[in-house]
Structure 1
Amino acid sequence: MSTRRIPPLYVLVLATMTGPLALNIIVPSMPGMAREFDVDFETIQFTLTFYLIGVAFGQLIYGPLSDRFGRRPLILIGAALFTAASLVTAFADSANWVIVGRIVQALGACSGMVLTRAIVRDIYSRERSASMLGYIMMAMAVAPATAPAIGGYIDAWVGWRASFVLVGGLGLVVFVACLTQLSETNLKRNETLDLLGQFRSFGKLLRSPAYVGYTGCAAFTVGAFFAFLSTGPYYIIEVLGAGSEQYGIWFIIISVGYIAGNLVVGRFSVRYGGDRVVFLGSAASVVGGLALIYGAVVETTSLAAIFLPMCLVTFGNGSSQPIAIAAAISEAPHMAGAASGLIGFSQMVVSLLVTVTIGQLLTDSAWPLVISVSGAGLLSFGCYFWAYSVNRRNRGT
């Protein structure tokens, strides 16, 4: 009888971080790409927009298919697709081909993002899977934080095409690592189940109040971060007059807060229980949100009054998100792939909606930033508390 072999943590980390790294590594190169292809900057921005759309919808495909065919073949297909698309895009001769390449690249990259969550839940209990996801998500925080710096240096010394070669090489490493180190973890798949039935599993998940609540928590934690990304640069650089280098240095504090939250989950969720860790993180987020509100009321222009409270908010998000994801997938472990895919899709949709909506509401005031970040944080905690209450009520009956 087949048994699950626990894959090395570095394999799951590599598979997870490839997508976020590829998303942001070309950001510093975008102005130069626009000049090279003689197109406006808005056209090059589609390389980011369509990448996010590809990641969102790709997760809906990989999740259910992995419940039917297994995690390993799907993650290998995704890694191969990502590698090929990255290398082809490196030699694109027009902006349109870069955009097409980015769509295919995203469809490959999202396999690692969605299937590592399902693999972790296949192997571990709810509390232990939250702990492991905490460590894995640290990589997802480090990758987008460091990718622009890496891409900037590559662009300056070699050119933007080398960035695609680099991530293509990383994709090849992921493929080889998964091929040699990753065994199949979905041992309970139903070989006779029709594919249409696999996609109907989304409806079953959405009829579970606890799953919807935990997924909402995971989605709004990401939404809070994108709310800051949508409003922070404009308010801090354009309104307050800070330099882009100041913004970049202060932004490190936000990343540190999120990573610290992930670390708390990894170290303490098994020992003290995920719910306690979430409530601790939520308390930090509330304090951070109140501090942001106070700063807006007194109209402070201090960068510390923005970034230090945001550090508390991202600490809360970092400590809540892995636990919420693990809890959501635990509501339907027999279709962990579909559950993971729907979570990832929800996160991308909320992020896109927040980015588009808040972008239309920018003013020379701090209030759009404060309201969007604090509001997303409160919605995140509200969703988790609702799911927690549903489960407590069900256990009591």
Structure 2
Amino acid sequence: MQPEPSLQTTVPARPPASRAFLILLIAITSIAPLALNMPMPALPGIARSLQAPIEVVQLTLSLYLVVVAVAQLVNGALSDRYGRRPVLIAGLALATVASIAAALASSIGYLIVARSFQAIGASAGIVLSRAIIRDLYDREQAATMLGWVTMAIMIVPLIVPYAGGVIDTTLGWPYIFISIAAMTAVVLAWAVAKLPETWRAPLASADPVRYRDDLAALFANRKFCGYVICCASGSALFFIMLGGAPHVVVTEMGRTPAELGLWLTTGAAGYMLGNYTSARYSQRVGVDRMVTWGSIAICLASAITTAWVWSRPHGGPLMLFAPQLITAFGNGLVVPNAIAGAISVRPRAAGTASGIAGFLQMAVGGIGAQAIAHIVAAYHSALPLALVLFGMALICLTSCLLLIRRP
């Protein structure tokens, strides 16, 4: 769908497609996963230091995820109203201050509040980097850029937990948050110096009625609904595997946590390969076709997993993670292209669309991960995990065929 001529944005005539600009977008997007993953190894130390139960300390992670999901809706809508640059800079500044506050926390309640504000600020990086990319590039070019960005930030959760563990062991957990504050401040200064305003919102878009109109138009658009459902259901496969695999592999199959960690790297490897493929070929092949191919790959791989587990109920991790490599690759095709499609349906509301896509990604994934943990614990088998993965894959493929590809 093409935007109305009167609502076109004024953007730089030549998009800043330099490598430095791409790295800046990657850095902006990386703040949220950095702040999520770096403190993970320090949770026991935080519990001892603040004399809090570990289940309460766990709220510093789970509540962080909830706030990031919801805040994307707000930050996306604000960026459509006031522009990308001021909302992003305000978010990074808030994340910096909140990280310092977390380092100074003297009670678990204070730390949870600081982490919540940190999540509000960090979420701006996720939602607005996508909107900025759509401001500057057409749909297929946006999918290419999103592929590069997503592939690069996958490295963050692989590296920073180790760094967080080292800092906690040598200096103490407050220095983890000081490190996060320092890195966020560097990205903030870089954005202030180098990030242009990419969205010149017309005065009419500041009207709340316009916001409601944009929401109504987005959800009334069949292809937008297809894109966000594909994105959410595809992403949920990753979260569901993370939620179900620990019980299945460690408890039911009797394998060690270290072995589980190695098996889980197949998902990251496949996803990065899919992102790389999207970055290289989306512009040539087209967004809708890439989403279709990825959805088919996800569905076939999930069907193989289900059949394998059904035929060998006492098999090992290979029956879960060999097909998972294909599933993750398909996800790497689906997610960046579905996001590019969603934020291109109504370009004047790219921030709002990005927020909706990001919220549904995290909400559906979080609910799925929590639900599958209880299901596999109740049935003591890998089959429920395989069936849920297959069901989610069918939702992804069906949404693609009926909502995106149907004429």
Same structural fold, with TM-score higher than 0.5 when normalized by the shorter chain: yes
| Aligned counterparts of 1:373 and 1:139: Cα–Cα separation in 2 | 26
CA contact (8 A) 1:296 1:370 kept: yes
| Aligned counterparts of 1:366 and 1:12: Cα–Cα separation in 2 | 39
Say whether 1:320 aligns with 2:334: yes
Instruction: Give 3-state SS (helix, strand or coil) of 1:330's partner.
Output: coil
Match of 1:389 in 2: 405
| Aligned counterparts of 2:302 and 2:204: Cα–Cα separation in 1 | 50
Amino acid at match of 2:287: G
The count of corresponding residues between Structure 1 and Structure 2 is 390
Measured after TM superposition, the shift of residue 345 of structure 1 is 1.1
CA contact (8 A) 2:204 2:210 kept: no
Residue from 97, 113, 121 that aligns with 2:134: 121
Amino acid at match of 1:6: P
| Aligned counterparts of 1:28 and 1:375: Cα–Cα separation in 2 | 33
Say whether 1:83 aligns with 2:99: no
Instruction: Give 3-state SS (helix, strand or coil) of 2:132's partner.
Output: helix
| Aligned counterparts of 2:68 and 2:170: Cα–Cα separation in 1 | 29
| Aligned counterparts of 1:183 and 1:191: Cα–Cα separation in 2 | 19
Q: Structure 2 stretches of 5 or more lacking a match?
A: 1-9
Amino acid at match of 1:347: Q
* Residue-by-residue CA offset, 1:122-153 (whole Å, 9 max, x unaligned): 11111110010001111332222333222222
Measured after TM superposition, the shift of residue 2 of structure 1 is 6.5
**TM score, norm. by length of structure 1:** 0.94
Instruction: Give 3-state SS (helix, strand or coil) of 2:375's partner.
Output: coil
Match of 1:17 in 2: 30
Measured after TM superposition, the shift of residue 308 of structure 1 is 1.4
Residue from 359, 362, 368 that aligns with 1:354: 368
Closer, same or farther: CA 300–288 of 1 in aligned 2, 3 Å: farther
Closer, same or farther: CA 381–96 of 1 in aligned 2, 3 Å: same
Measured after TM superposition, the shift of residue 195 of structure 1 is 4.8
Measured after TM superposition, the shift of residue 245 of structure 1 is 1.0
Measured after TM superposition, the shift of residue 99 of structure 1 is 0.5
| Aligned counterparts of 2:79 and 2:343: Cα–Cα separation in 1 | 14
* Residue-by-residue CA offset, 1:52-93 (whole Å, 9 max, x unaligned): 111111111111111111101111000000011011101101
Say whether 1:65 aligns with 2:83: no
CA contact (8 A) 1:127 1:326 kept: yes
Amino acid at match of 1:320: V
Measured after TM superposition, the shift of residue 348 of structure 1 is 1.7
Match of 1:304 in 2: 318
Instruction: Give 3-state SS (helix, strand or coil) of 1:215's partner.
Output: helix
Measured after TM superposition, the shift of residue 174 of structure 1 is 1.3
Amino acid at match of 2:341: A
Match of 1:154 in 2: 167
* Residue-by-residue CA offset, 1:323-361 (whole Å, 9 max, x unaligned): 000011111111111111111111121122212322331
Say whether 1:341 aligns with 2:355: yes
Match of 2:16 in 1: 6
CA contact (8 A) 2:288 2:405 kept: no
Say whether 1:197 aligns with 2:206: no
Instruction: Summarize the alignment of residues 32-47 of structure 1 with structure 2, pairs less than 5 Å apart.
Output: 32-47=45-60
Measured after TM superposition, the shift of residue 373 of structure 1 is 1.8
Closer, same or farther: CA 147–289 of 1 in aligned 2, 3 Å: same
Amino acid at match of 1:171: T
Match of 1:376 in 2: 392
CA contact (8 A) 1:90 1:161 kept: yes
Measured after TM superposition, the shift of residue 192 of structure 1 is 4.2
| Aligned counterparts of 1:71 and 1:325: Cα–Cα separation in 2 | 17
Closer, same or farther: CA 2–251 of 1 in aligned 2, 3 Å: closer
| Aligned counterparts of 2:392 and 2:158: Cα–Cα separation in 1 | 21
Q: Percent of aligned pairs with the same residue?
A: 35
Instruction: Give 3-state SS (helix, strand or coil) of 2:154's partner.
Output: helix
Measured after TM superposition, the shift of residue 156 of structure 1 is 2.0
Match of 1:277 in 2: 290
Amino acid at match of 2:318: A
| Aligned counterparts of 1:62 and 1:242: Cα–Cα separation in 2 | 42
Match of 2:6 in 1: none
* Residue-by-residue CA offset, 1:357-383 (whole Å, 9 max, x unaligned): 223312310022112222222212222
| Aligned counterparts of 2:352 and 2:72: Cα–Cα separation in 1 | 8
CA contact (8 A) 1:79 1:108 kept: yes
Instruction: Summarize the alignment of residues 98-177 of structure 1 with structure 2, pairs less than 5 Å apart.
Output: 98-177=111-190
CA contact (8 A) 1:54 1:106 kept: yes
| Aligned counterparts of 1:54 and 1:197: Cα–Cα separation in 2 | 26
**TM score, norm. by length of structure 2:** 0.92
Say whether 1:186 aligns with 2:196: no
Q: Structure 1 stretches of 5 or more lacking a match?
A: none
Amino acid at match of 1:172: A
CA contact (8 A) 1:258 1:315 kept: yes
Say whether 1:265 aligns with 2:274: no
Cα RMSD over matched residues?
1.6
CA contact (8 A) 1:50 1:103 kept: yes
